[in-house]
Structure 1
């Protein structure tokens, strides 16, 4: 169970690293994102696709750029992460 959760967390972390690169360096292409984040290009491509599907980034001929409203969504993501961290802390008491 923990392995599955850890894999999903790594994927989400990678997506957020790619999003951070787009927010900081836009427009930015896949090779540059991979360089900035240390994420393999094929995984960068996948993360970009997920971020596009989520309405966080838009593709352009010059590279990825933040979508309209992306910063608002980032605020919501951060609030959600805070709530998840609290839930995880609560789970630690099971079986004690």
Structure 2
């Protein structure tokens, strides 16, 4: 169970690294994302697809760019992460 959770967190962390690269260097292509983040190109491509599905980025002929409402969406992500941290803290208190 913990290994599965750790794998999923790793994927989410990678997606956020890719989002950060897009925010810093937009428009940005897969090759540069891989170089800037030290993430394999195929994993960067997957993260870009996930971020696009989440409405955080959009593709352009020049590379990925952030959507107009990305700042608001990032605040929502951060609030959600705070809630998850609280949930995980409460799980540590379970007696088993």
Q: Kindly state the Cα deviation for residue 71 of structure 1 after the two structures are TM-superposed.
A: 1.1
User: Structure 2: which 5+ runs fail to align?
Assistant: none
The Cα offsets for residues 26-83 of structure 1, whole Å up to 9 and x where unpaired, read as 0000011111111100000000001111110010111100012111100000010011
Match of 1:70 in 2: 70
Q: Kindly state the Cα deviation for residue 89 of structure 1 after the two structures are TM-superposed.
A: 0.8
Q: Which runs of 4+ in 1 moved over 6 A?
A: none
* Distance in structure 2 (CA, Å) of the matches to 1:25 and 1:35: 12
TM-score by length of 2: 0.96
TM-score by length of 1: 0.96
Instruction: Name the SS of the counterpart of 1:64 in structure 2.
Output: strand
Match of 1:26 in 2: 26
Match of 1:40 in 2: 40
User: Structure 1: which 5+ runs fail to align?
Assistant: none
* Distance in structure 2 (CA, Å) of the matches to 1:38 and 1:75: 25
Match of 1:88 in 2: 88
Match of 2:57 in 1: 57
Higher strand share: 2
